[in-house]
Amino acid sequence: MKNFVSFLDHDPNVIRAIVEQALGIKNGSIVPQNLQGKTLGMLFFNPSLRTRVSFELAMKRFGGDAIALAAGSDTWSLEFGERALMNGTTVEHVKDASKVLSRYVDGIAIRSFGALKSLEEDLKESVLRGFEQFADVPVISMESACEHPAQALADMMTMRERHGNERVKFVLSWAPHIKALPMAVPHSALLAAAHLGHDIVLAHPEGFDLAPQFVNHAREVATQFGGTLSETNNQSDALMDATIVYAKNWAPAAAYGDPAKLDSMLGAHTDWLMTGDKIKNAKTLLHCLPVRRNLEVSDNALDSPQSAIYDEAENRLWAQASLLDTIFNP
Ligand code: CP
C-alpha cells in the first residue's frame, strides 16, 4: 500500500488485515516496527481533535515523530489549479509544497473537507488528489471531502471488539443538525460495515441520498463478505432489530450552496434525533464525534451502556498505528 486516501482504492482483504493487526497492537500481542525513525507531516485545512492527537501519538508511541501544520496559517496559502497564473491570494503551488515536504518527511497526511458547493466538485477530491499527484512519499487521508477512511478503520475495529465475527444488522441513521455537514463519515461508515459483511440498512429522509458510487461499492463489498445493503426513508422500520446503530448527520446535495433550502430541509426532520429509547434494543451505538448533544444524538443515548463512542475514539490511535505500520512497511 503506497497511499491511503480511499477505501475504494484497496482490496477489502487488505483493509481487514489492517484492522486485525490493529486489534493485536491494542492488546499488546503485536508491536509495530515500521514507524521507527519515520516522520509524518500532517497538514490540516480544517480543525481536528481526535485525528490530530491520535495520528501524532501513534507515530510517537512506536518510535516515530510527527509535525502538524495548519494550512494557510502555518504554511503559505496553497494553489491547486493546473497551470494557474498565481496572481491572486495563493502563494505556493501544491506541486512545490508536495515535492518539498517529500524531502523532509516520510508520509504526508492531509485533512481537507469538501466545500459543499457542488457534490460533483467534492467528488474530485482536488486537495487530496493534488498532494497524491505530486508527493514522492505516501499520502494519507485524515478525512477528505467524501471519505474518512481512518475513521472507518477505527469503526471496524470497534465493531470487531463488540461483535466478533458475527454478521449483524447495522443501521446508518441520518440525524438532525443545524449546519451543512459533509458525506465523508457516512460514506466511510457504510464502507466499514460492508468490509465486515454486515446486513446494512441506510436510513435517511427523502432527498438525503449519499453518493451512489460509495453506496454501490459498499453493497458490492458487503455481498462479497456475505452481507447485504438496503435503503429506507423510514427510521423506525430501519431501527427494528438493529444490533449496531451509527448516527450521523449529512447535508443533502440538492441544497449545497443554497442556505434557505438547506435550512428548510434540515429543519424538517428534527424527529430523526437519535434517542436512548430508539436504541434500547440495540447492542452498540456509534458516532465518530464531535457530536452536538441533544441536537443530533440525545444524552441518554450517548451515555447509555450501548454507547461505544469513547472506544471508537480511542481505537483511532491503534487503527492508525496499524495503518502507518502497513504504509511504512519496506
Ligand atoms: N472523528 C474525527 O475525525 O474527529 P476530529 O474531527 O476531532 O479529528
pLDDT tens for each residue of 44-102: 999 999 999 999 999 999 999 999 999 999 999 999 999 999 999 999 999 999 999 99
- Note whether 124 and 54 are same-domain residues: yes
- Note whether 265 and 244 are same-domain residues: yes
Q: Which atom of ligand 1 is nearest to the CA of 142?
A: 3
Report how far apart, in Å, the C-alpha atoms of 226 and of each of 24, 191, 200 are.
25, 14, 11
The CA distance from 155 to 312, in Å, is: 6
Residue 40 is predicted with a pLDDT of 98
Domain tally, the chain = 2
Kindly report the backbone phi and psi dihedral angles of residue 145, in degrees, each rounded to the nearest multiple of 5, phi listed first. Answer: -60, -40
- Note whether 164 and 45 are same-domain residues: no
Does residue 1 form part of some domain? no
Provide the domain limits for residue 14.
7-147+314-327
- Note whether 59 and 123 are same-domain residues: yes
- Note whether 119 and 23 are same-domain residues: yes
CATH number at residue 141: 3.40.50.1370
- Grid cell listed for 203: 436510513
The CA distance from 31 to 44, in Å, is: 28
- Helices 50-61 and 149-163 sit at what angle, rounded to 10 degrees? 80
Nearest CA, atom 1, ligand 1: 288
E-assigned strand segments in 112-257:
139-141, 169-174, 199-203, 228-232, 244-248
DSSP bridge partners of 307: 285
Does residue 53 form part of some domain? yes
- Note whether 223 and 256 are same-domain residues: yes
Helices (H) and strands (E) in the chain, counts: 12, 11
Which run of H or E residues covers position 5?
Answer: none
- Note whether 171 and 270 are same-domain residues: yes
- Note whether 131 and 222 are same-domain residues: no
- Note whether 219 and 305 are same-domain residues: yes
- Note whether 164 and 308 are same-domain residues: yes
Whether the full predicted model's pTM is greater than 0.95, yes or no, is yes
The CA distance from 175 to 182, in Å, is: 13
The CA distance from 109 to 47, in Å, is: 14
Residue 86 Cβ < 6 Å to ligand 1: no
Does residue 2 form part of some domain? no
Does residue 143 form part of some domain? yes
- Note whether 129 and 15 are same-domain residues: yes
Residue 1 is predicted with a pLDDT of 85
Residue 53 Cβ < 6 Å to ligand 1: no
Does residue 297 form part of some domain? yes
- Note whether 308 and 319 are same-domain residues: no
Report how far apart, in Å, the C-alpha atoms of 182 and of each of 3, 98, 127, 240 are.
22, 25, 15, 27
Does residue 251 form part of some domain? yes
Cβ–Cβ under 8 Å, residues 234 and 204: no
Does residue 250 form part of some domain? yes
Q: Which atom of ligand 1 is nearest to the CA of 51?
A: 8
Which run of H or E residues covers position 121?
Answer: helix 119-123
The CA distance from 313 to 48, in Å, is: 12
Q: Which residues of the chain have pLDDT under 50?
A: none
Report how far apart, in Å, the C-alpha atoms of 177 and of each of 63, 118, 150, 263, 289 are.
40, 20, 23, 10, 13
Residue 86 burial (CB count, 10 A) = 11
Does residue 113 form part of some domain? yes
Mutate to test the pocket of ligand 1, among 57, 110, 142, 143 (most ligand atoms within 8 A of CB): 143
Residue 51 Cβ < 6 Å to ligand 1: yes
Residue 289 Cβ < 6 Å to ligand 1: yes
The CA distance from 120 to 143, in Å, is: 17
Q: In 197-222, which positions are buried (b, 16+ CB within 10 angstroms) versus exposed (e)?
A: bbbbbbbbbeebbbbeebbebbbebb
The CA distance from 228 to 220, in Å, is: 9
The CA distance from 170 to 175, in Å, is: 15
The CA distance from 259 to 296, in Å, is: 19
